[in-house]
Structure 1
Amino acid sequence: MSDDTRQTVRSGCVHLSEIEDKHKNRLRVYWGTIRFPRPKEDGGAWLNTGRGSPTIVIEEDELVTLLERSGLEELEDLSGSFFAIMGKLRHGRTAGSTSSSTRTSTGWQCGRSSRTKR
């Protein structure tokens, strides 16, 4: 991995449902489904992955690139998309509650299954 650790691909990839405290501040490939994409005031977005799961923070330039590569036009079109992202899991506080987020550090992969209903 790019954080100079030696590990298997399997140990470097974490599904959102398997996140534990040991993953905080560790560079990993996180994967799952975007449930509720929401715009940020600065042009970026919060990509919510479900209740109790991390929120992905994406900056405006990354969002534009992601939508173009995915063949999507609107932020809302990401709802239901599967994703894989390499980044560090961070712990933050919002509105009096504790939440986790992943800030992008390298690359995105995002797409929809042909069987996914909208």
Structure 2
Amino acid sequence: MDKDLLVEKLKILFQQEKEITIDAFGLAPAYGGMVSNSFVLGVSAPSMAGDEQPDKIQKIIGLLFSGLKPEERRWIDRVRVYDNVRELKKQAQNDFEEISNNNDSYVSFETELFKLEAV
């Protein structure tokens, strides 16, 4: 499986989800790209805006377990959930890592974001 196929699987999974509204997501290389085929999944889920962060993450992980095969899930190392696309875009600049923008030694990748259309 390659990243493009994973993106397509995630698009289908997120668009079919009825209980959680997911309007965009992105995959950033985990560990600064030092581990191949390992990604941080960033998700914009406005329907969970009032939820605690651990609860948001648990819901997305549950969705991944219900909709992806184990060999597909293993590509996702960590999950980050944001309240809106604006926050997702901002954090994508840091590859969804908890890193200050003042860290000159950190090299960020161009994290592509994928917007989802309502079904």
TM-score between the two structures when normalised by the length of structure 2: 0.27
TM-score between the two structures when normalised by the length of structure 1: 0.27
Greater RCO, CA 8 A, separation 6+: 2
